[in-house]
Amino acid sequence: RAGVVGLQTALSLLEAGYGVIVVAKYWPGDKSIDYTSPWAGAHWRPHAAVDELELQKYEMATFRYWTEMVKKVPKEECGVTILPDTYFWDSGNPETISALWWPNLIPNIRMIPESDLIPGTTLGMMYHSFCIDVPMYLDYLVGKLGDLGVKTITAEVDTLEDVFELPGIEDDVVVGMVNCTGMGALNLVPDEKVYPMKGQTVIVKGRAKQITFRKGEGYVAYVVPRIGEEITVLGGTQGVRDWDPEPNSAVTEEILKRCKAIAPELLNEKGEFEIIAVQAGRRPSREGGPRVALVKHAGGKFICHNYGHGGAGYQSSFGSAMEVVSLVNGFLGRK
């Protein structure tokens, strides 16, 4: 799957001076519930818990990477821009903020006055964050890979080792493989810790004025505008180990109901959203968090894993890719 983690990892390796061949079953433009990246919201919002230091490192590295990228690349080209981002809690308090690891690292954070909180919430915070138009960003990464002369192979394999035997793979030249197969790692590694986290979103007409996220008891709601179109993504769900490929109509109604309070500017004269599409994807999650690790393989080769990011694929993509570069450099004795 040529998802955001795999594409960014390939790009980072190329920029580090390695030759790269990208092997994937799905590419940007393809649609499958098992190809998750095109279904994402997406925006930079930390997923790492206070004790998940590696994931924190990946997320902050990506934040800094995008901070520099948007200074150089127009949003119409890369699909990434900075927008106001509001974060509401239904039952938050000052200790809620102090328990987070990231507010002191992000510029321009301010608390929302009680008078400006939306009904039903007790705490709010505003800052500026990255909003990603995912079709544009995936195309941008593919374009960057093409500019650097990457070779691509469209294929499906039964085991990771089969990749070394694919036509076009020169065994005496290839020194290793990076596994960014997402949900595919469940069977290809195999890794029984991998599981799907079903995400369901609703695409509605109109572009929201900002990113908004609301955390309640047992649910989250979010609004993410697509900067390249007059549409907005509404979510969200966390269907742990839910393999059902179809969107659930009852879940759709819950999403619409919860998002009305956080994106009233998108409602029509009847007080409803104008629905364009309902979609579902399987976030490739993993017990214990992402696996970014290098192991020795037969013949002096290596397999470096980078999968299991769940709903944090975009915001951890660059950070985890640079960890892969570091691991490969160490294995090959490069500085």
Binding site membership: which residues?
Answer: 36-37, 157, 181, 222, 283, 311
Angle between the N-to-C axes of helices 134-147 and 4-15, in degrees from 0 to 180, rounded to the nearest 10: 30
CA gap 108, 188 in Å, rounded: 43
Q: Give the residue numbers of the binding site for D-serine.
A: 283
- The structure tokens listed for 134 are 């995912």
The kind and range of the H/E element at 117 are: none
**In 10 A of CB 283, how many CB atoms?**
25
Residue 325 Cα to chain centre, angstroms: 19
Q: Give the residue numbers of the binding site for D-dopa.
A: 222, 311
Report the half-sphere exposure of 143 (CA within 13 A, side-chain side).
9
The kind and range of the H/E element at 328 are: helix 313-332
Q: Output DSSP code: residue 163.
A: G
CA gap 60, 316 in Å, rounded: 8
Instruction: Match 């009305």 to its residue by tokens.
Output: 260
CA gap 204, 162 in Å, rounded: 42
Q: Give the residue numbers of the binding site for FAD.
A: 36-37, 157, 181
CA distances from 105 to 56, 61, 63, 244, 295 (A): 11, 11, 10, 38, 33
**Beta pairing, strands 110-111 & 176-179:** unpaired
* Cβ proximity of 5 and 23 under 8 Å: no
